[in-house]
Amino acid sequence: MIIVKHELRQGRISLMIWTATIAFMMGICILIFPDMSSDMGDLGRMFSDMGSFSAAFGMDKINFGEFTGFFAVECGNILGLGGAFYAAYIGIMALSKEEKEHTAEFLLSHPVSRTRIVAEKLLAVFLQILVLNAVTAAVTAAGILVIREEVQAETMVLLLAAYLLMQIETAAVSFGISAFLSRSGPGIGIGLAALLYFLNIAANLTEKLKFLKYITPFGYTDGAEIIADGALQTGFLATGLVLGAAGLISAFWYYTRKDIVS
């Protein structure tokens, strides 16, 4: 696990910054909920009556005055979008950075198979995502305790699990792309995450684009659906798992054959 350790060490500052930022924003969001809910009055109805805008963000099906509804939209966007950006960033950089920074020759001239290098780098990516999500889950739990709000633990776990799975899928797809890159990566990763986010918004706006939810992992993180069904949307999740697996298979297949020129 030398490479896992090395990758975690190399990515520790980035992980700390992303985790602290997302956890801090989520913590603030949770702490302001009691004030918001008491002042809410007709605000909740207003949020759900904004037509397409409400639909785009799933606010038409959610009770904003309840903590889970509030959490699914507000905190969901912070952890969903922030987590997806981070997952895409570390996924896309994992393999491509070695060639971009000209360290590939150093690493690959050591007696470690490329399959093992890919596997250890992938494990490091997943571990970093797990750390980010564990910290944000802990901050969420602490925030709930501080504001003394009663929540349905099962729904909260489902919501957090959906965001985690979404980040893992985004990272897996980005990781697959990373194997094919030898130069720039971050722009493609962040761009991919943003594209997937907006595909979900487009899918929420019209039934004609509903199929996009099978493509974007944001499809199964729709808080309104999770709260209503008390379960994850297995159809969207299944296609997400297939896309993630395709990303990983292509990473292993291509990187073990790739010419390392620089």
Binding site for other proteins (CB under 8 A): 2-3, 6, 10, 101-113, 257, 259-261
Q: Which residue, 11 or 58, has its beta carbon nearer to other proteins?
A: 11
The token pair at 11 is 């990515």
Work out how close the CB of 2 gets to other proteins at its nearest, in angstroms, rounded to a whole number: 5
- Tell me which residue of 107, 127, 147, 112 sits closest to 27, measured CA to CA: 147
**Which residue, chain included where needed, has tokens 């990303």?**
247
Q: Exposed (0-12), middle (13-18) or buried (19+): which is 77, by Cβ within 10 Å?
A: middle
Work out how close the CB of 113 gets to other proteins at its nearest, in angstroms, rounded to a whole number: 5
Q: CA–CA separation, 110 vs 115, rounded Å?
A: 13
Q: Which residue, 1 or 28, has its beta carbon nearer to other proteins?
A: 1
Three-state secondary structure readout of 208-228: HHHHHHHCCHHHHHCHHHHHH
Q: Which residue, 102 or 183, has its beta carbon nearer to other proteins?
A: 102
Contact 216, 200 (CB under 8 A): yes
Give Cβ neighbours of residue 260 (< 8 Å, ≥ 6 apart): 99, 104, 105, 108
Q: Which residue, 2 or 20, has its beta carbon nearer to other proteins?
A: 2
Q: CA–CA separation, 54 vs 190, rounded Å?
A: 25
Q: Which residue, 6 or 61, has its beta carbon nearer to other proteins?
A: 6
Rg for the chain (alpha carbons), in Å?
Answer: 20
Contact 200, 84 (CB under 8 A): no
Contact 206, 153 (CB under 8 A): no
Q: Which residue, 9 or 45, has its beta carbon nearer to other proteins?
A: 9
Q: Which residue, 61 or 100, has its beta carbon nearer to other proteins?
A: 100
Indicate the angle between helix axes 12-31 and 33-40, nearest 10 degrees.
30
- Tell me which residue of 178, 154, 144 sits closest to 248, measured CA to CA: 178
